Amino acid sequence: MNKNYKSANFTLNNKNMSKSITKIGVLTSGGDSPGMNAAIRSVVRTCAFHNIECIGIYRGYQGMIEGDFKEMGPRSVNNIVNKGGTVLKSARSIEFRTPEGRKKAYEKLTEAGIDAFVVIGGDGSFTGAEIFNNEYNFPVMGIPGTIDNDIFGTSHTLGYDTALNTVVEVIDKIRDTASSHNRLFFVEVMGRDAGHIALNAGIGAGAEEILIPEEDLGLERLLESLRKSKASGKSSSIVVVSEGDKIGKSVFELKDYVEEHMPEYDVRVSVLGHMQRGGAPSCFDRVLASRLGVKAVESLLEGKSNYMVGILKDVIELTPLEQAIKGESAIDLELVRVSDIMSI
């Protein structure tokens, strides 16, 4: 169980799981990511297709506690498939981490006649859904929405592909100025404790070095790599750094370290920040969101619960929420090798 969640010392054995579902709620929780709106649209329209009512839950679990609900139909999700962010808004709820908060949420859902819900978010959002399901036997289904791609049970999370395209486009622009001034750029990208964005975008943008949490390069090897680049005739370099890199220094401390040991380099830092979470979703993310939304709703209608819908080898699969939360999203070691070869 996530340490941020307090467990209730009781379990309600109601019959929610066995009764037929006539009304499904949908919410977005945690950090936003491109493709969330496309997933909301998919859930709403799949409900309509099966003659099931759909209720939008605003502001994540906090909105659930406060009963911030609105009925949604096929026309209420017009023209959002191409929009970034989330029309349902998102918020982190401290109150939902307490048994009292979850009890309020259950009462509001029951009052509104909601029989099940789909939550679009990351592992923290799934932890909340799993605990809620354990306490109230309430049908839940998760859709992975995070640019970090750090969730077990899916090769791609919603927003990851869009974020990669955003990062590559920005690094391409940075390379223009780096090569004009013979500069070394450290470019920090998001990813939390996973290096998927850094590794894939780094290869795609032709970075000379990629620093990710899964591979502790070490400061000396970094300097050695930069010296080799210089000796091989490279006049400018791009180093992509994942925000969770284990090298032990912030990206600005890295800049100072390299300048101290290699004064011939003119070093700059670019932290890409929240621009990676914005923008219109890519075609891949829109199609993925549509597929995941259909599977989530139809799985609930089949009586399934406590699963995350994900994509593995281009097939939509179900993974138990507990596994999705606790499992590790491993880095592709072949890509690490490709990165080493490409930086020669």
Considering all CA atoms of the chain, what is the largest pairwise distance in Å, rounded to the nearest integer?
Answer: 71
* Residue 26: strand, helix, or coil: strand
Residues in the chain: 344
In sequence order, which residues have a C-beta less than 8 Å from that of residue 260 and are 6 or more positions away? none
Distance CA 28, CA 231 (A): 50
User: Angle, to 10 degrees, between the axis of helix 36-49 and the axis of helix 283-301?
Assistant: 40
The string of DSSP letters for 209-277 reads EEEBTTB---HHHHHHHHHHHHHTT---EEEEEETT-TTSS-HHHHHHHHHHH-TTSEEEEEE-GGGGG
Q: Which amino acid is at 24?
A: I
Element housing 29 (H / E): none
Angstrom distance (rounded) from CA 229 to CA 71: 59
Close Cβ partners of 194 (under 8 Å, ≥ 6 residues apart): 148, 149, 150, 213, 214, 242, 244, 329, 331
Please give the structure tokens belonging to residue 277: 């979470």
Rounded to an integer, what distance in angstroms lies between the CA atom of residue 1 and that of residue 132?
12
| CB count in 10 Å sphere of residue 156 | 21
DSSP conformation letters of 188-217: EE--TT--HHHHHHHHHTT-SEEEBTTB--
Cβ-based neighbour number of residue 265 at 10 Å: 18
Judge whether 150 counts as a catalytic residue.
no
User: Which one is catalytic: 123, 148, 150, 245?
Assistant: 148
| Catalytic center residues | 148
